Amino acid sequence: MAFAPSSPPGQPLSLDPPPPSAGAVLLARAKSVDPAEVARNVAEVGNRTSTALVMLGGAILLTILDLVYARVTGERFTIGAIRVIWISGPLALVGAAVLGVRLLKEHGG
Protein backbone atom coordinates (compact mmCIF):
# COMPACT_ATOMS: atom_id res chain seq x y z
CA MET A 1 0.00 0.00 0.00
CA ALA A 2 1.54 3.30 -1.08
CA PHE A 3 1.53 6.46 1.00
CA ALA A 4 -0.35 9.29 -0.67
CA PRO A 5 0.80 12.78 0.34
CA SER A 6 -1.88 15.16 1.60
CA SER A 7 -0.58 18.08 -0.50
CA PRO A 8 -1.09 18.43 -4.26
CA PRO A 9 1.97 17.77 -6.45
CA GLY A 10 4.39 20.66 -6.68
CA GLN A 11 3.48 22.14 -3.30
CA PRO A 12 5.33 21.50 -0.04
CA LEU A 13 4.06 18.69 2.13
CA SER A 14 1.72 19.66 4.93
CA LEU A 15 3.09 19.07 8.43
CA ASP A 16 -0.29 19.38 10.11
CA PRO A 17 -1.07 16.54 12.49
CA PRO A 18 -3.59 13.99 11.23
CA PRO A 19 -7.18 14.30 12.47
CA PRO A 20 -7.81 12.41 15.72
CA SER A 21 -9.06 8.87 15.35
CA ALA A 22 -12.17 7.63 17.12
CA GLY A 23 -9.98 5.76 19.61
CA ALA A 24 -8.04 8.90 20.47
CA VAL A 25 -11.28 10.83 20.99
CA LEU A 26 -12.67 8.13 23.29
CA LEU A 27 -9.41 8.00 25.22
CA ALA A 28 -9.48 11.77 25.72
CA ARG A 29 -13.05 11.58 26.97
CA ALA A 30 -12.19 8.72 29.32
CA LYS A 31 -9.33 10.74 30.80
CA SER A 32 -11.67 13.65 31.54
CA VAL A 33 -13.99 11.56 33.75
CA ASP A 34 -13.73 12.27 37.46
CA PRO A 35 -12.74 9.08 39.34
CA ALA A 36 -14.81 10.12 42.36
CA GLU A 37 -17.90 10.30 40.14
CA VAL A 38 -17.20 6.82 38.77
CA ALA A 39 -16.81 5.49 42.33
CA ARG A 40 -20.12 7.08 43.37
CA ASN A 41 -21.89 5.52 40.37
CA VAL A 42 -20.47 2.08 41.11
CA ALA A 43 -21.47 2.36 44.78
CA GLU A 44 -24.98 3.46 43.81
CA VAL A 45 -25.42 0.49 41.47
CA GLY A 46 -24.11 -1.79 44.22
CA ASN A 47 -26.63 -0.40 46.68
CA ARG A 48 -29.49 -0.89 44.23
CA THR A 49 -28.60 -4.46 43.36
CA SER A 50 -27.34 -5.83 46.68
CA THR A 51 -30.71 -7.19 47.87
CA ALA A 52 -31.34 -8.99 44.60
CA LEU A 53 -27.83 -10.44 44.55
CA VAL A 54 -28.22 -11.69 48.13
CA MET A 55 -31.47 -13.39 47.12
CA LEU A 56 -29.80 -15.06 44.12
CA GLY A 57 -26.80 -16.07 46.21
CA GLY A 58 -29.07 -17.56 48.88
CA ALA A 59 -30.98 -19.54 46.28
CA ILE A 60 -27.75 -20.90 44.80
CA LEU A 61 -26.44 -21.77 48.27
CA LEU A 62 -29.65 -23.62 49.17
CA THR A 63 -29.54 -25.55 45.90
CA ILE A 64 -25.92 -26.58 46.43
CA LEU A 65 -26.73 -27.58 50.01
CA ASP A 66 -29.64 -29.70 48.74
CA LEU A 67 -27.45 -31.45 46.15
CA VAL A 68 -24.63 -32.16 48.59
CA TYR A 69 -27.00 -33.41 51.29
CA ALA A 70 -28.76 -35.70 48.83
CA ARG A 71 -25.41 -37.12 47.63
CA VAL A 72 -24.06 -37.71 51.11
CA THR A 73 -27.14 -39.11 52.85
CA GLY A 74 -29.20 -40.35 49.94
CA GLU A 75 -32.23 -38.48 51.32
CA ARG A 76 -33.91 -35.30 50.20
CA PHE A 77 -33.17 -32.18 52.19
CA THR A 78 -36.38 -30.76 53.60
CA ILE A 79 -37.38 -27.96 55.92
CA GLY A 80 -40.44 -29.31 57.65
CA ALA A 81 -42.52 -30.91 54.93
CA ILE A 82 -41.18 -28.61 52.18
CA ARG A 83 -38.30 -29.54 49.91
CA VAL A 84 -35.61 -26.88 49.67
CA ILE A 85 -36.08 -26.62 45.90
CA TRP A 86 -39.54 -25.13 46.54
CA ILE A 87 -37.85 -22.36 48.50
CA SER A 88 -34.74 -21.77 46.39
CA GLY A 89 -36.56 -21.80 43.04
CA PRO A 90 -38.99 -18.95 43.77
CA LEU A 91 -36.24 -17.12 45.67
CA ALA A 92 -34.05 -17.21 42.57
CA LEU A 93 -36.90 -16.10 40.31
CA VAL A 94 -37.82 -13.17 42.55
CA GLY A 95 -34.15 -12.20 42.92
CA ALA A 96 -33.63 -12.25 39.14
CA ALA A 97 -36.80 -10.21 38.60
CA VAL A 98 -35.81 -7.61 41.20
CA LEU A 99 -32.31 -7.39 39.72
CA GLY A 100 -33.69 -6.94 36.21
CA VAL A 101 -36.14 -4.24 37.28
CA ARG A 102 -33.48 -2.29 39.17
CA LEU A 103 -30.96 -2.49 36.34
CA LEU A 104 -33.54 -1.48 33.74
CA LYS A 105 -34.75 1.38 35.94
CA GLU A 106 -31.17 2.64 36.07
CA HIS A 107 -31.05 2.91 32.27
CA GLY A 108 -34.46 4.55 32.03
CA GLY A 109 -36.19 1.43 30.69
Q: Is residue 48 part of a domain?
A: yes
In a domain, 23, yes or no: no
Q: Is residue 43 part of a domain?
A: yes
Tell me the backbone φ, ψ of residue 6, rounded to 5 degrees.
-85, -10
Q: pTM for this structure?
A: 0.58
Closest CA to 62 of 83, 36, 33: 83
Give the count of domains, the chain.
1
| Domain limits for position 97 | 39-106
Percent share of the chain, pLDDT over 90: 33
Confidence of residue 106 (pLDDT cuts 50, 70, 90): low
Give domain status of residue 53, yes or no. yes
Q: Distance (Å, rounded) from C-alpha 38 to C-alpha 30?
A: 11
Query: What is the pLDDT of the chain when averaged over all its residues?
Result: 80
Which segment of 22-31, 35-44, 81-90 scores lowest on mean pLDDT? 22-31
Asked if the structure places residue 51 within a domain, the reply is yes
